[in-house]
Amino acid sequence: MSVLTGILIGLATGVVFGFALEKSRVFEPGAIVGQMQLRSFLMLKIFLSAVVTGLVVLAVLNGVFGVKLSLKPLLWRADIIGGVILGVGIVLSGACPGTSLAQVGAGYRDALFVVAGGLTGALVYGYNDAAIVALLAEKGEKIGFDQLLGVPFWLGALVLAALLVGLLGVLEKLTPWRGEVGDDADGLLPMTSNPREPATVAKGGPRTA
Amino acid sequence: MSVLQKRAWSPYAAGVLIGLLQIPTFLFMDTALGASSSFVTVAAHLATVFDPAADKIKYFASHMWGAKNWWQVAVVIGIALGAYLSMRLSGARRRSISPVWQRATGTTTLAARAPLAFLGGFIMLFGARIAGGCTSGHGISGIAQLSVGSTIAVAAMFAGGIATAALFRRV
């Protein structure tokens, strides 16, 4: 495929992705920090809905049409160490690598610093990739839970999708999403009575809708 | 009001739409949705500006050229465009920084927020590149492929995120 075709497909995919991220409010730092303090579950709801859809889509693409999957290898140390570091960064920046760009599009100015920091992080990692890979010293196989359990991928995918739909049903019952969006759609939950904190964060009166 | 002008969609509808993007990605690009390696592609090209030997580094070289690398750069640029478009249609323009930072860290100005935002971005991408993926590649795509490694990586992300958020004030 030519680079230009790839770019056009990427742009089309990204515009839909970014539109959905903005509408879902998951790009809001309020939603991300709220999720990680286990006060709001908006991020988990969007995330798991995308996973469920992906599971069904791939069960069909792989199970019916034989489309090849694209798994990443299982690297215990890299997955755990890298994952924890990534999680720390997600909370400090209030963004994921993808949603940082949605924040830029929606107008958050600090997101430009997140993106600049991200580029610098990728740069520093790149210069040290060989050393880090040597330090972690592991070789991984591309392995899925379907292989571990000895079931066809499509079956494992559909079973997990069904379980996650059940989990989402329970989550929604416990914390309805409309209560998590926030008055200004910024993922901020109503203030709880906490004497150490200011009564309101809105500056200059109520914001317009 | 058209559905495109709404400020917020149901998270389930938005999640389904994002998940459906796996269809063109697998069919046309022979890969899964991801975001973080695009930072390497751009960083590698920026590196060659001040370090002409940067493209001799294998990791950079493998991310610099080809349809798949530039496809992902286009995806993240598209994300910014799509979010801008959605924001213009709904009028939910964001300004400066999110009010959540006042609650979490007492920060009210961009200047005060910028250093932590930069550091957060740095740590985020450094971790994502060690793990070989982010919330998109390991999360949305990896778990949807029943990948064992991606599931471990996502559990680790939440562990790191929850521990860090506990250091903030309650939002």
Q: List, for residues B57-101, the tens digit of each pLDDT value.
A: 999 999 999 999 999 999 999 999 999 999 999 999 999 999 999
What letters, b where the CB count within 10 A reaches 16 and e where it falls short, cover A177-205?
beebbbebbbbbbeeeeeeebeeebeeee
Whether A203 sits inside 8 A of B75 (CB atoms) is no
Q: How far is B149 from chain A (nearest CA, A)?
A: 4
Whether A79 sits inside 8 A of B144 (CB atoms) is no
Interface test mutation site (partner B, options A91, A153, A183, A186, max chain B beta carbons within 10 A):
A91
Is residue B119 within 8 A of residue A88, CB to CB? The reply is no
Give the separation between CA A169 and CA A179, rounded to whole angstroms: 16
Out of A74, A87, A111, whose CB is closest to B161?
A87
Whether A86 sits inside 8 A of B94 (CB atoms) is no
Sheet strands (E) in A119-187: none
What's residue B1's pLDDT? 76
Rg, C-alpha atoms of chain A: 20
Chain B hits for A60, Cβ within 8 Å: none
- What rounded mean pLDDT belongs to chain A? 93
The complex's ipTM works out to: 0.97
> What are the residues facing B147 on neighbouring strands?
A144
Which structure tokens are listed for B33? 């949705």
In this predicted structure, the answer to whether residue A173 has a pLDDT above a threshold of 90 is yes
Sign, CA dihedral A112-A115-A120-A123, equals negative
Residue pLDDT, tens place only, A191-209: 765 545 554 444 444 444 4
Out of A17, A117, A148, whose CB is closest to B18?
A17
AA identity, residue B1: M
* Number of residues that this document lists for chain A: 209
Give the separation between CA B124 and CA B105, rounded to whole angstroms: 19
pTM value is: 0.93
Whether B160 sits inside 8 A of A48 (CB atoms) is no
Whether A82 sits inside 8 A of B129 (CB atoms) is yes
Our CA dihedral for A151, A157, A158, A159, rounded to 10 degrees, sits at 70
